Amino acid sequence: MKRINFKPEFKDKILAGEKTATMRWKSQNWHEGEVRAAVTGQNGKPAFLTPVEKAFCRVKCKKATLTTFGKVTDEMAQRCGVTRDWYLKEYPGASEFSPIYVYEFEVVKE
């Protein structure tokens, strides 16, 4: 199973159903219907080093949309568990014209 990496501060929001989307700057690599292991960094190590077996949950992509950051609404950012300003601070190279994928997802119950 493939993984999807999240920052540690998003784990509880995902499990509580408060974060139901994520934005990614890279090309589309998560497709509708695909289930992934949701991982976060552990013991000071980055998420990409966390084994899939240690995922905090599994998430299923419900919808993948390509847009530009300028078209991301406050509501979209809120579903991602953040604000537009947060993204601009985290990714200072982003512009209103930067392409971005918005992935809506749901937690898969075991």
List, for residues 42-90, the tens digit of each pLDDT value: 888 888 889 899 999 999 999 999 999 999 999 999 999 999 899 889 8
pLDDT digits (tens, 9 = 90+) for 31-43: 999 999 999 998 8
Give residue 26's pLDDT band: very low, low, confident or very high (50, 70, 90).
Answer: confident
The DSSP 8-state label assigned to residue 15 in this structure reads H
Residue type, 12: D
Check residue 42 and report its DSSP letter.
B
Asked if residue 104 has pLDDT above 80, the reply is yes
CATH superfamily entry for domain 3-108: Sulfate adenylyltransferase (3.10.400.10)
Please, are residues 73 and 102 in contact by the beta-carbon 8 Å criterion?
no
C-alpha distances in Å from residue 91, one per residue of 10, 42, 69, 75, 88: 17, 23, 11, 19, 5
Domain ranges of the chain: 3-108
Where are the alpha helices (H) located in the chain, listed in sequence order? 11-15, 74-79, 84-90
Q: How many CA atoms lie within 13 A of 97 on its CB side?
A: 0
